[in-house]
Structures are given as C-alpha cells and as structure tokens.
Amino acid sequence: MLIGANVSMSGKAMFPGAVAEAVSYGATTLQFYIGAPQNTRRKDVSAMRISEGLAAMKTAGLSHLVIHAPYIVNLGNTKKPGNYDFAVEFMRAEVARAEALHAYSMPFHPGAHVGAGADAAIAQIARGLNEIITADQHVTIALETMAGKGTEVGRTFEELAAILDRVTNNDKVMVTMDTCHMSDAGYNVRDDFDGVLNEFDHVVGLDKLSIIHVNDSKNPRGSHKDRHANIGAGTIGFDALYAIVHHPQLTDIPKILETPYVGPDKRHMHPPYGVELNWLKTGNYQPEELTALAQS
C-alpha cells in the first residue's frame, strides 16, 4: 500500500533525513516541502543531498516522492498584477527543484480570487500554469481540492476541471484529493465516498487523480473551514478514512497524512504518523494510543 505522511526536509539531514523520518513511521511513500510553506526562501539543490536521499528511498522501498508547493503562491490574484510574475518565476524554480529531487507529483493550492470572482482567477491560474509547465518535465502539478475558505478557488470539481481544460500540456497537470477539504467543501466523504469518486470521475476523470491527502476534519461537512483533525478524531471518522485508504480503485495512488501534531503543550509536540499509519494499515483503531502520545 502506498501510504505515508508529510515529513521534514531541513537542517543538515535534508533529503536523507526526510526518508529516515518516513521509514520510522512505517511509510511506503512520503511528502515534504522543499522549504517553509509560508515563504519562498529555498536552499540550492546542491545542499539537499539528493543522491543520498534517492539511495535511502531505494533501500527502504519507498516510492512516489511528493513535493508540496508552498501556500504563499497565489496565481489567482488578479488584483495585484505585480505578484503574478513573481509567482510564475518562483514556481518555475520550484518545479526545477522538484525535478532534481526526482519527485513524482506536486500538490498545489490553485489560489484565491480575492474578490475578483472565480472565473477571473481560473483564467489566470491556467495562464500561469501554461507559463510554468514545460512539455519535457516529469513531475506533475497536482491541483488540490480546496475547502472553499474565503475566496479559494478549487472548492468544486467543476472549478478544477475548468482550470485543467485550459492547460496546454494537460498531461503535466493532475489533481490532489484532500479528504478534509472535500468534506468541508460539502462533499459526502464520510457516508458516500463512492458517490464522490464517481462524481469526480465524470467531471474531472479518475485518470487525473495523482495524490490523496488523508485527513480527518474538525468541522461539519460544508463548513468551508479547512481544519485538519487526527485520524478518527473528526467528523469524517476512522471507518470512512480506512475504507478510502483501502479502496480498490485507488491502489496505485499515494496516500499522505497531514494530521496535526499532538502533545501536552506547544513546546512538546509529537508527530502522530507512526500511530495513525499503523491504524490505517491494520484496521486496529486504538484512539488511546494517540491520547498516550499526546500526554507524553
């Protein structure tokens, strides 16, 4: 099963350190940000220890490296034209870094229209992708399903399809499903995931699905909040998420956890991924294990 979590690539350990963290959780795939998601400061690829990281992945049997694009890039903002050129230039460089890391795919938050309306944002996002994407790149950009918080674009499958339809090198753009985001957007992930998957297939196409972010939600369906919860601790629930992870149509799709760290206070927080991945692999849901981790 292709399942893993968002890990850290930082400090001196860099890529090999990210692989070691994923291995410690019992993962078979992994995701990380090349730098902090809130800014665009990046180390040169020569400092990332790429050959060591790739060798460590091969030794551990990990595959389908996922590199998440930072949140700070907003191709949908038509009200500040000066930001657009910077966003395109940065994303070109980020794609080049992902290529150097031999990444499989790159989840990308499409952007927000900041009051100009979804149609204007969709047109500009597609325009930006056409300037960023090259025909010979290997890593795909995977537009993420969004919760619809504020003026976010991508809260419906139709909005994602409208972007995809405008991209010239269409084989280089895919979709990331986020279970929390879809539920918060109004899709019935908990009780009718097969129906959600069928709708996605008719509107976008299952062949366009590249990654699944497996997250519970702290809020009711349709809340448009985007607040991730730990597996089984939210409104989607363990049974629904377990069924998604083991869905026969999604066997070859990497599933990545982005659930919150737990701990007694902000200075003592622990990643939950080893516990949660074990639950999702075995079906043996033991919430007290996470409670114990949070108290340690």
Binding residues for Zn(2+): 68, 109, 144, 178, 181, 213, 226, 228, 258
CA dist 122 and 167 (Å) reads: 11
Annotated binding site: 68, 109, 144, 178, 181, 213, 226, 228, 258
Q: Name every residue whose Cβ is closer than 8 Å to that of residue 18 and which is 6 or more positions away in sequence.
A: 7, 8, 9, 30, 32, 53
